[in-house]
Chains A and B, each alone.
Chain A
Amino acid sequence: MKKVINNDTFWAFIFIFPSLLGILIFNFIPTLSSFYISFTKWNLLGNPQFVGFKNYISLFSDPLFYKVLYQTFIFVFCTVFIEVILSIFIAVLLNSLIIGKTFFRTIYFLPVITSMIAGSILWNWIFDPAYGFLNYFLSFIGIEKISWLADENWALFSIILVSIWKNIGYSTVLIVAGLQTIPNECIEASKIDGASKYQTFFKIVLPLLSPTIFMVTIVSFINSFQTFDSVYILTSGGPKNSTNIMVYWLYKNAFEYYNMGKASAIAYVLFFIILLFTLIQWNIRKKWVFYEK
């Protein structure tokens, strides 16, 4: 008995058991069964019927699929690109402060901890064509009232704007942490060598920061691909599907049309895209990440 109790394996099993069970049941097995469901026809009631690649074939021959895919890409690329550039800018400014760093950081971080539902409701009001603040603000520079959420040309842009507002604080905090790992000697040395502020930034700081920027980009990519709440609240995918992006479409197919097979196929396409992006970024990392431990 004593031997058993002293045995690490025994105790490790006890300690890991709850998490192992939970993660297997609620994460691992659903991921596998989702893969199976994507090859079936199923409306949630009764048993799934195996149909082979039919869901994938119908997906790839559906014009809406390409529209959704295209919009998802536009949404993700714009969000991530603007978010990362702006957060580098904000982080550098924040890092240069002597007092008030925490204050400003808190303000920029507020949207991150606010629920996307609350955030979307706030923006819904700002986007209001008649009484909203955005149109009021733009009226000063002579821009006429825009129906942000009801206009096909502006709806996706509006969703992008909300996403950037929501996530920029998160990227900024990561980049500030990255900036703090840059040894001061590097910056001092470049100053002594007579480099200007801009030269120091582009030739020293940015290359040393590239691992962090790389990581932030991947995280934002993965998060943006999974956007749902803001679309649900602000546009419900409309007008004319112009803000219908992958997770929202998945939700529609599963829980409004009860087409579980197609929904799971969409889920796996999404999974595959995210995986592909992560892998591509890992591979090109060598080209634009200059410094790594």
Chain B
Amino acid sequence: MGFLRKINFISYFLLTIGSILMFLPFLLMIALAFSPYEKSLTYPPILIPSDVTINNFKEVMTSNNFFRYFFNSLVVSLFTTFGQIITCSMAAYAFARLEFKFKNHIFLLFLSTMMIPTQVNLVPLFSMMHKLGWINTYFALIIPGLFSAFGIFLMRQYYITLPKELEESAKIDGCNQWKIFWKIFFPLSLPSIVTLSIFSFITSWNSFLWPLLVINSDYLKTLPVALASFKSSFREVINWSLIMAGTLISVIPSLLIFIFGQKYFISGITTGSVKD
């Protein structure tokens, strides 16, 4: 018993040190975001702000289109999430519960797109957006993201576990597949929908390269693109306090979603990898 306690003490000790290292960048961000600009130019660097101020937040929100960036990120992430819930759950239902020709072939085709690094598609997709006149529009930010092979896979894993009696009794009651899906299966898959929503929201909220390519106008920038351009536009004299305030705001939504939906997120990550 004494041995066990010792082991556990060592575990706590090591994990605490690790946690401090992992959390340190966030701590420095918080400290700087709440400190006046002059404090960012002090040495040693501050870990705990001595004169707390919210001026950085005020300034970052008023000095540029920050609300607009936040709004853009929110619109894009919400539409993407909503779209993926619809398209993925519908397709997943078909793959899990219906029998049709080429079912496995199409499923394999979908899965195979997951193996291809997204960067391979960048040039043709960009030129497609260019030809459609979608550069600098919400369409370019949202539409290509409405579909997800991963989402289909995730939802399918859930639909195949539901009992066969569900659709049998519904069929006897005269429901067609459309009704069976929307009235029975879709509501039942709420846990998976939550998992998928968290995934697609956070992925979309954090995505950078694609918005960077298709958006030039300041008014349509998403938060990550805006933050990146803050950093480079202030390159002469970087106002770190201001940047940290903006970064802190940008991190909050995905943080909240993760903290409240942690269980679903972790289950989504491990689906099909460990449990299978």
Give A residues with C-beta under 8 Å from B.
5-6, 8-9, 11-16, 18-20, 22-23, 25-31, 33-34, 37, 44, 90, 93-94, 96-98, 100, 102, 104-111, 113-119, 121-126, 128, 130-133, 136, 165, 168-170, 173-174, 177-178, 181, 197, 212, 215, 219, 222, 225-226, 228-229, 232-233, 247, 250-251, 254-255, 260, 263-264, 267-268, 270-271, 274-275, 278
Contacts and interface: CB of A to CB of B under 8 A. Distances in A.
Contacts of B273: 174, 177, 212, 215, 219
Contacts of B143: 26
Nearest to B109: A28
Interface of A is mostly: helix
16 contacts: A26-B121, A26-B143, A90-B15, A97-B15, A113-B257, A113-B258, A117-B224, A121-B227, A126-B24, A126-B25, A131-B42, A165-B25, A212-B274, A225-B117, A233-B231, A250-B119
Max chain B C-beta neighbours (<10 A), residue from A19, A27, A96: A19
B130 to A, nearest CB: 7
Contacts of B205: 115
A165 B228 contact: no
A254 B147 contact: no
A181 B273 CA distance: 12
B206 A116 contact: yes
Given A219-B273, A229-B208, A267-B119, 4 more contacts: A13-B100, A110-B258, A136-B43, A229-B209
B18 A108 contact: yes
Contact of A119 (B19, B25, B87, B110): B25
B94 A173 contact: no
Contacts of B88: 19
B224 A118 contact: yes
Contacts of A100: 12
Given A28-B109, A121-B247, A122-B28, A19 B22 contact: no
Contacts of B123: 34, 37, 254, 260, 263-264, 267
Contacts of B274: 174, 177-178, 181, 212, 215
A22 B151 CA distance: 13
B55 interface: no
Contact of A11 (B25, B178, B255): B178
B213 A133 contact: no
Contacts of A181: 274-275
B122 interface: yes
A94 B25 contact: no
B224 to A, nearest CB: 4
Give the top 7 A-B pairs by smallest Cβ distance, nearest first. A22-B147, A115-B206, A30-B121, A11-B177, A15-B94, A30-B124, A19-B91
A122 B248 CA distance: 10
Interface stretch (B56-64, B189-197, B262-270): B262-270
A247 B250 CA distance: 25
B133 interface: no
Interface string B116-131: 1111111111111010
Bin chain B's interface residue count.
35 or more
B98 A12 contact: yes
Interface string B100-140: 11010010011001011111111111111010000000000
Contacts of B250: 115, 117-118
Interface in B214-236: 223-224, 227-228, 231
Contact of B18 (A29, A90, A125): A90
B191 to A, nearest CB: 17
B67 interface: no
A226 B118 contact: yes
Contact of B228 (A113, A117, A125, A130): A117
Contacts of A93: 11, 14-15
A19 B12 contact: no
Contacts of A130: 43
B141 interface: no
Contact of A15 (B116, B181, B266): B181
Contact of B100 (A12, A20, A102, A109): A12
Interface in B12-31: 12, 14-15, 18-19, 22-26, 28-29
A233 B32 CA distance: 19
Nearest to B14: A93
Given A27-B113, A114-B254, A125-B28, A18 B266 contact: no
B202 interface: yes
A272 B208 CA distance: 24
A226 B116 CA distance: 11
A108 B28 contact: no
With a 10 A CB-CB cut-off, give which of B8, B42, B121, B176 has the most chain A CB atoms. Answer: B121
A23 B149 contact: yes
Contacts of A31: 113, 116, 120-121, 124
